[in-house]
Amino acid sequence: MMTPKERLIFALDVSTRREALALCDELAGEVGMFKVGLELFVSEGPDLVREVARRAPVFLDLKLHDIPATVGRAAAVADRLGVHYLTVHVDEGGRSLAAAVEACSATRILGITVLTSISDADLQAAGLSTNVEQTVLQRAQLAAERGVAGIVCSGQEASRVREAIPKSMEVITPGVRPAGTNADDQARVVTPAMARLAGADRIVVGRPIRDAKDRVSAARALVAELG
């Protein structure tokens, strides 16, 4: 069983090494993992990932999407870097996903199904006859068949995804806000307790901690809701 603290992933959504490491040092005792996304990775690269990994496990959120050979080779490099999770888009056929899983010995691959910025109308305009929810479920099942460790999805899809994939796979949910707080630009938000009830194993939180006056207290309040 994971502890409530291990269930909280903090998104290091800043662009400099200095800011990122200050946040890591402040919060290493309060959260289970740090997420490094595109902004920080493009700005500071693998050296910063190694430095963060000395403080807590790293979730490298690069959302890879390319031919299987390229994704596999990039995943192998991430595996050598020592990251805990790496995100890869669920592609048609799932072969890039399978290549990433195959290339990693320790790094766990998470499948990205449909980005939360995509609507039913976007899928129809692209010629698909399904809606977002059906597409999320189909891609989650395909990802499970390709051997991924988990799926990233919003709290509102988490319970359907949880039912559609094996129990051994993890469900990881961003777009989480403590009850009664600002949703920022997230359209489909849930509270930490709702995310857990829906079957999420871990939650990803950025701004509610980063922008809090007292970050440690903000993280502790989230962890308390996960207990």
Point out which residues bind ligand C5P (CB under 6 A): 11, 13, 37, 115-116, 152, 174-175, 184, 186, 204-208
Residue nearest to ligand C5P (CB): 206
Closer residue to ligand C5P, CB minimum distance, 37 or 68: 37
Closer residue to ligand C5P, CB minimum distance, 37 or 111: 37
Closer residue to ligand C5P, CB minimum distance, 135 or 186: 186
Closer residue to ligand C5P, CB minimum distance, 102 or 181: 181
Closer residue to ligand C5P, CB minimum distance, 146 or 202: 202
């950025």: which residue's tokens?
206
Least distance to ligand C5P, CB of residue 175, Å: 5
């305009």: which residue's tokens?
125
Active-site hit among 5, 35, 63, 213: 63
Least distance to ligand C5P, CB of residue 104, Å: 20
Least distance to ligand C5P, CB of residue 72, Å: 23
User: Phi-psi bin for 137: left (phi > 0), alpha (psi -120 to 50), beta?
Assistant: alpha
DSSP letters, the chain, are ---TGGGEEEE---SSHHHHHHHHHHHTTT-SEEEE-HHHHHHHHHHHHHHHHTTS-EEEEEEE-S-HHHHHHHHHHHHHHT-SEEEEE--GGGHHHHHHHHH-SSPEEEEE-S-TT--HHHHHHTT--S-HHHHHHHHHHHHHHTT-SEEE--HHHHHHHHHHS-TTSEEEE--B--TTS--TT-SS-B-HHHHHHTT-SEEEE-HHHHT-SSHHHHHHHHHHHH-
63 is catalytic: yes
Query: 180: exposed, middle or buried (C-beta count within 10 Å: 0-12, 13-18, 19+)?
Result: exposed
Least distance to ligand C5P, CB of residue 69, Å: 26
Least distance to ligand C5P, CB of residue 148, Å: 15
Task: List residues with catalytic annotation.
Answer: 63
